[in-house]
Chains A and B, each alone.
Chain A
Amino acid sequence: MLEVPGGRGDPSFDKARDEFFSEAQELVDGLGRDLVALDQALKRGHSDPEIINDVFRGVHTLKGLAGLFGASRMSVVSHELEDVLDDLRLGRVELSSHVLDALFQAVEIYNRILAAEKGDGPDPTADAEALLVALGQVSEHRGGTGVGLIAQYDLDPGLLGVLTEYEEHRLRTNIQAGLALFRIRVRFSLATIDSALDDLKEKTKPHGEIITYLPTGSGTDIETIELEILMASRALLHVLRAAIAGPQVDIEEVRRRTAHSLAVQSSLPAAPMAAAPAPRSPVIRLDPTTDAATLGGSGPPPILGSTGLPALRAESTSARGSGPAPSATPAPPPGALTGPVGVPSRELSLRSVSQTVRVDIRKLDNLMTIVGELAIVRTAIAGLSDRVRIRPELRQLGIELQRLHRSFDRHLSQLQNGILEVRMVPLGQVFDKLARVVRQISREHDKLVKLSITGAETEIDKLIVEELSDPLMHMIRNAIDHGIEPPSEREHVGKDEVGNIVLNAFQKGNHVLIEVEDDGRGMNPEAIVASAVRKGMVSADEAKDLTAQDIFALVYMPGFTTKEVATDLSGRGVGLDVVKTNIAKLGGVVDIVSGVGIGTKMTITLPITLAIISVLLVEIAGRLFAMPLASVGEAMGFDDRQVRTLEGREVMTVRGKSLPVCRLARLFGLAATEPASTRSFVVIALMGNRSLGFVVDRLLGQQDIVVKALGRSIKSVRGFAGATELGDQRVALVLDVAALIDEVLAGGESRFMAAALA
């Protein structure tokens, strides 16, 4: 049976299991299809290396999948099969109908193993072992062929030395099949080589096969590269030349070294694949009918050969019979790995699965750092190009430099976007989990809830997704517990008895917005204020002056709850403050809009990535600092005369409210490098329910930066989240706003406490 972490009861276990089955089934079906094509090709007397490669890739993917899910029998079979296919691919074993029989048998065994893993088929171990024996015997009959063949051609030994085993095999096969070899020299521009090479491949395809290509390394300048392409073709030289003509193309036929070789060539079979000599000892043939009998009639007897595909399909559906409504096409697993849903995606998904690479996110961080450095180099080049261009005698050089700079700039931003894109995962990953939570919680509380999700495909930084599930879970719980009314109450107020929760995600500029909206009873400002007063969070007098926005802000206060009785869901007053804090850690903010009787909408605004954050650059005593914009509410002119000292703490009044003020130059002990300017600014930072005005000398604007951690030796210095390089090698420290607010406000409180105690 499968061993998957998570255990049987866990729904995620079932889901992963389902995904495994559908993916594996899809791959096995694909193998069956490829083998039929291979069989047909063999009957026509030739082999198609591309199909063998496809089969090899499919089996390789199956092996990986099986390993991941602990399906050990499948791993073993795949492993052995891979060896055989590798031999086939490299020409160490000829593709004969015997070998093909064994391969078809393997597909059949795969289906039985899958059925057995699901628990609705007999144990296939014995069959699998028989197959392994057969596969082992195929591998034993490797033979070296045509070793001296290649040597007859006037080929560069340097080129022959670097051929892969596969390429060598293809070269040999083509020579044996009587094809002529051509050497093509093509000069490509470095900028367009990818598309140009593809173009060339496309043009040559109807005429033959490209064995290999290598850079010649001669006669090229820095902008171009010359490739030597070795191609096998039946076409005559002038036909080829016409097909791929171009100013940069030079084509010639590779000559034989000796005159005798012609005789040698003609004595070889023209199509060795079809006339393959029988293996020295015959492969054990697995009899499909007897194997089918061991299935106990759980499926129709498989008919192998040219009709193998339908038989396998029928087998696979019967194996899936225990599931709901067996379908002829297994559903592709949900998730990013598969292509678009539907039949055409089958081939696609086969490839996409095998072409996925798992990457440690730290490696991406490293790449991002390098991009950051290149951005600095770019700035330097721009400066250089400006300096060169103002010199009349260097005008031409300046123009060229500028052109290079523009191209560098463009590619660099593509690179940066490319790396950011790799970090992105769809929000659907966390939304799927929430759908289960909704079902579970609503059932427990006898509420009827319909969850609608839009924008699950919206992508966001992997690290952010990991941290989002807890906050979103809290918000959903709140919506169900506080928002959605019981069915009877909903009917009473004329709403549909099924409550709606809508989860929307979409991208807006450099941010991703996630909305959690319910059509429940909404937040009652009076209840919130009453509760806050009762808990002593605000005084009754203060409560009178609160704006709607202030009132909603109260629900973020630690310990806040309107519930008289705590349920196991919510009401303990732990929730929204945690949501707010967690989101703030990700550089995001939460906003609430609510109407009594209409519902509540909470919106999370997050940066798309943590790799780059937006900051406000400020100057304090002649030094540069960066403040993360996510924690900045607003900035305004600062006037010393507005400041009053209350209990040893400086406070100013903003729109009728007290705002504690922190003079950063004083806190940091920075002496002004120039006389204090007449004007300065206060940047109002918000963190949770607390705000603090930071007094700075100048606002220098907004910038997207990459934050880097400070070294261990100064990690303990309070108040800085890291630093960033701004270009010109200048480094600006990034303020840790949350820590500074903590420090300043706590400091004030302790002074106040000390005064009170004295």
Chain B
Amino acid sequence: MAGLVRTGARHQRAARRAGEGGKRTEYLAFTLAGEAYAVQIAFIAEILKPPPITEVPRAPRNILGVVSVRGKLVTVVDLRRRFQLAESPIDRKSRILLTDLGLGEQIGLLVDEVLQVYRLAESELEAASALGGDQPAHIAGIGRPPGQLLVLLDLRPILET
């Protein structure tokens, strides 16, 4: 438990503050198979060091298994499998992002490494169409903080199915 970082409430407040200003939104950036992604921090309840994951036989392939977070069972999804990226074993940089989209359950996302929180101004956001062609629904756009390029994810299409 010592490794848990509680971020949820604080960042939800921060996100609300930023939302009212209409100026900046906070994103949590992480890597999957070497590429940088980010999700709105308002949906992240907690960042966990991965506890032992119990695989659930015959579950969809995206689902790594279940873990226990303070007595509650949480399903863990492997975004790399979902995005058909190269997989690597869990190491000491791996983290589970505990997301809460208000779907009735919290879902864990296994990521390779958590980078940092970016407060992105509207000017630093690009639409997904900037990538050209038809982009999948879970790609919300591009974030361009100085010196970085982030694929912004919309978690709903990923986790609702």
- On A, residues with C-beta under 8 Å from B are 369-370, 372-373, 376, 623-624, 667-670, 708-714, 717-720, 722-723, 725, 728-733
Whole-angstrom distance between the Cβ of B124 and the nearest chain A Cβ: 32
B92 at the interface (CB under 8 A from A): no
- B52, B57, B75: which contacts A710 (Cβ < 8 A)? B75
B60-89 CB contacts (< 8 Å) to partner A: 63, 66-68, 70-75, 77
Chain B residues within 8 Å of chain A by Cβ, number: 25
Q: Which 7 pairs from chain A and chain B are nearest by CB?
A: A668-B57, A373-B71, A731-B54, A711-B105, A729-B51, A725-B68, A711-B75
Which residues does chain A contribute within 8 Å of B105, judged by CB atoms?
711-713
B56 at the interface (CB under 8 A from A): yes
Determine if B74 and A711 form an interchain contact, defined as CB atoms under 8 angstroms apart: yes
CB–CB A712/B104 < 8 A: yes
Are A668 and B73 CB-contacts (below 8 A) given A729-B51, A729-B67? Answer: no
Judge whether B71 and A711 touch: CB under 8 Å: no
A711 and B57 in contact (CB under 8 A), knowing A370-B71, A729-B51, A730-B52?
Answer: no
Residues of B within 8 A of A372 (CB): 71
Asked if B52 contacts A711 (CB within 8 A), the reply is no
> Taking the nearest CB of chain B, how far is it from the CB of A85, in angstroms?
44
Residues of B with C-beta under 8 A to A733: 54, 56-57, 66
Residues of B within 8 A of A719 (CB): 57-58
Report if B103 contacts A (CB, 8 A). yes
What separation, in Å, do the CA atoms of A667 and B57 have in the docked complex? 9
Residues of B within 8 A of A (CB): 51-52, 54-59, 63, 66-68, 70-75, 77, 103-107, 159
Of B52, B58, B72, B103, the most chain A CB neighbours within 10 A belong to B58
Question: Considering residues B55, B104, B105, which has the most beta carbons from chain A within 10 angstroms of its beta carbon?
Answer: B105
User: In the assembled complex, which residues on chain A have CB atoms less than 8 Å from the CB atom of B103?
Assistant: 712
Asked if B58 contacts A718 (CB within 8 A), the reply is yes
- Given A725-B68, A725-B71, check contact A713 B63 (CB 8 Å): yes
Please name the residue on chain A nearest to B74 by beta carbon.
A711
Residue A717 contacts which of B54, B58, B104, B106 (CB distance < 8 angstroms)? Answer: B58
- Chain A residues with Cβ under 8 A from B77's Cβ? 713
**In the assembled complex, how far is the CB of residue B75 from the closest CB belonging to chain A, in whole angstroms?**
4
A709 contacts B73, C-beta separation under 8 Å = yes
Q: Chain B residues with Cβ under 8 A from A369's Cβ?
A: 71-72
Interface centre among B57, B63, B67, B106, by most chain A C-beta atoms within 10 angstroms, is: B57
Q: Using known A-B contacts A372-B71, A710-B66, A713-B63, determine if residue A732 contacts B159 with beta carbons closer than 8 Å.
A: no
CB distance from B78 to the nearest CB of A (A): 13
B59 near A714 with CB under 8 A, answer: yes
Residues of A within 8 A of B54 (CB): 623-624, 723, 730-733
Contact of B58 among A669, A708, A728 (CB under 8 A): A669
Are the CB atoms of A711 and B58 closer together than 8 Å? no
In whole angstroms, how far apart are the Cα atoms of A732 and B66 in the complex? 9
Cα of A668 to Cα of B65 in the assembled complex, Å: 14
Contact B70 A723 (CB under 8 A): no
Alpha-carbon distance between A121 and B58 when the two chains are bound, in angstroms: 71
In the bound complex, residues from chain A placing their C-beta under 8 Å from that of B51 are 729
* Assembly CA distance A392 to B4 (angstroms): 32
Other A-B pairs, 20, CB within 8 Å; known A708-B72, A711-B73, A717-B57:
A369-B71, A376-B71, A669-B57, A710-B56, A711-B74, A711-B106, A712-B104, A713-B77, A718-B58, A719-B58, A720-B56, A722-B73, A723-B73, A725-B71, A729-B51, A729-B52, A731-B52, A731-B73, A732-B54, A733-B54
Nearest chain A CB to B97's CB is how many angstroms away?
A: 15
- In the complex, which residues of chain A have a beta carbon less than 8 angstroms from the beta carbon of B71? 369-370, 372-373, 376, 708, 725
Shortest Cβ distance from A716 into chain B, in angstroms? Answer: 9
Given A711-B66, A711-B107 in contact, is the A717-B159 Cβ separation under 8 Å? no
Assembled-state Cα–Cα distance A718/B60 (Å): 12
Chain B residues lying within 8 Å of A624, measured Cβ to Cβ, are 54
* Nearest CB on B from A312, distance (A): 55
Name the residue on B nearest A373 (C-beta).
Answer: B71
* Contact between chains at B63 and A714 (CB < 8 Å): yes
Q: Chain A residues near B75 (CB, 8 Å)? A: 710-711, 713-714
Determine if A713 and B159 form an interchain contact, defined as CB atoms under 8 angstroms apart: yes
Report which of A373, A670, A723, A728 forms a contact with B57, defined as CB distance below 8 A: A670
Query: Bound complex: CA of A342 vs CA of B133, how far in Å?
Result: 85
Could you tell me if A714 and B56 are in contact, using CB atoms closer than 8 angstroms? yes
CB-defined contacts of B66 to chain A, threshold 8 Å: 710-711, 714, 723, 731, 733
